[in-house]
Amino acid sequence: MSEKALNSRRIFLQKMIALTALAGVAPYVDAFGQPFAEIRKGELPVRPLGKTGHMVSIYSLGGQGSIEIPGKEDISVEIINRAIDLGINYIDTAAAYGRQTPTVARADAMGTSEKNMGQVMKYRRKEVFLASKTHDRTYDGSMRLLEKSLKQLNTDHLDLWQIHNVKMSEMETLDRITGDDGVLKAMIKARDEKMIRFIGFSGHEGPDVLNALSERFPFDNVLVAINAADKHHDPFIEKFLPNAVAREMGIVGMKIPARDRIFANGGIITMKEAMDYVLTLPVSTIIVGIDKIAELEENINIAKEFRPLTADEMLAIEAKTKPHYRDLLFFKNLSDWPAEW
């Protein structure tokens, strides 16, 4: 990168760091408005989840990893309980989450994550902000999925219901989502009937379609794939994040370790670098799927010790990811992905 380009990038990152503070998501206050420095030792910092009014732990639990694998109910329940015990108050899952195994087909595995979450929600529902998703784009199909999700999760409502993985190939068919027979109508109906509280969407592939969808409705939240390699191809950070902040949306970051690809080649970057990079941006929280308790505890400890990076520290991390960005951004612009992924 030329010196001119480097300085330009540095200035941009400095603006993003400032935007984090201006957006009210900087890690300087806890749930009671206390300065970050006054958060008691051992507690997870919190940030506002956009305009929802919820103060969310900066590190949250994703519903993939072991939780979506059939036959792993015991470790899943252990992970979920431990996460809540350690201060996580936001949990994300999806009707589609369920991993194929040698003995369970993909179609039969779908819903595994919600079912495992439901084992804990039976008695700890009030302790978390619970988010799930519909991969169906129709009114009727999504309403059926919502009923199924509520049953599997052992709850009478979701705090957040999201349109799952809005793809670049849907740019020309957004009317299918927002029309009279579309999923958005189902979400509004469900909110009116208090089956859900807030409405959002998720996306992996590129910023253009997320910007286009956000113009059609005042969404409360977005779950977006952002990691330390983002700048190297069609970046969400430059092209979408400022828009989401301006709309006062809760912003949840995902794909932080790129499905553990950051650990390839002897370690491209550390988990601390991966988490600190994204948490320095104006996001409300980040979600990570967990395979075992030790991973959960390590990540929570990183979150507890988080301090915002400088622009130069972010530049250094970006430089480390550049040679490997194709692997680390595997989720972008893959139009043949199934909608439920």
* CA atoms of 109 and 178, how far apart (whole Å): 29
Two structure tokens written together for 211: 């910007």
What does the DSSP 8-state code read for residue 283? -
Rounded Cα distance between 97 and 262, Å, is 23
How would residue 24 be classed by pLDDT, with cut points 50, 70 and 90? Answer: low
Least confident stretch, 142-151, 165-174, 215-224 = 165-174
Q: Give the per-residue pLDDT at 25.
A: 58
How do residues 26-72 score in pLDDT, each as one tens digit? 544 433 343 433 344 568 999 999 999 999 999 999 999 999 999 99
Task: Say what the pLDDT of residue 336 is.
Answer: 44
Model confidence over 101-124: pLDDT tens digits?
A: 999 999 999 999 999 999 999 999
Q: Please check the confidence at residue 145 and state whether its pLDDT lies above 50.
A: yes
The per-residue pLDDT for 160 is 99
Q: Where are the domains of the chain?
A: 3-249+272-328
Residue 265: predicted pLDDT: 81
- What confidence score (pLDDT) does residue 250 get? 98
Residue 308 has pLDDT above 90, yes or no: yes
Residue 16: count of CB within 10 angstroms of its CB:
19
Q: What is the mean pLDDT of residues 69-78?
A: 97
CA distance 28 to 210: 29
242: closest CA among 9, 7, 17?
A: 17
Q: Is the pLDDT of residue 225 over 90?
A: yes
Contact predicate 112/153, CB 8 Å: no
Q: Give me the architecture of the 3-249+272-328 domain, per CATH.
A: Alpha-Beta Barrel (3.20)
Long-range contacts for 144-151 (Cβ within 8 Å, ≥24 apart)?
A: 145/95, 146/186, 146/190, 146/195, 146/196, 148/95, 148/111, 149/95, 149/114, 150/195
Q: How many residues does the chain have?
A: 341
* Average pLDDT value over all residues in the chain: 91
pLDDT of residue 21: 73
pLDDT-derived band of residue 75, with 50, 70 and 90 as boundaries?
Answer: very high
The encoded tokens of residue 87 equal: 């201060």
pLDDT for the residue numbered 32: 37
pLDDT per residue over 239-288, tens digit each? 999 999 999 999 999 999 998 999 988 889 999 999 999 999 999 999 99
**Which residue blocks in 55-137 are alpha helix, DSSP H?**
73-85, 106-109, 112-124
Residue-level pLDDT at 110: 96
Instruction: Mark residue 143 as left, alpha or beta (left: phi above 0; alpha: psi -120 to 50; beta: remaining).
Output: alpha
* pTM score: 0.92
Mean pLDDT across 306-322: 95
CB contact at 8 A, 62 and 286: no
- For residue 196, give the DSSP letter: E
Sign of the four-CA dihedral 230, 266, 334, 218:
negative
Both structure tokens of 188: 């509004």
How confident is the model at residue 19, as a pLDDT?
79
Q: What is the mean pLDDT of residues 185-193?
A: 99
Structure-block tokens of residue 247: 């709309």
Task: Report the sign of the C-alpha dihedral through residues 183, 189, 192, 195, in that order.
Answer: negative
Write out the two tokens for 192.
């009116």
pLDDT at 175: 94
For residues 299-306, average pLDDT? 97
Report H helices in the chain: 3-22, 73-85, 106-109, 112-124, 139-153, 174-178, 183-192, 207-214, 236-239, 241-246, 271-279, 293-304, 311-321, 325-328
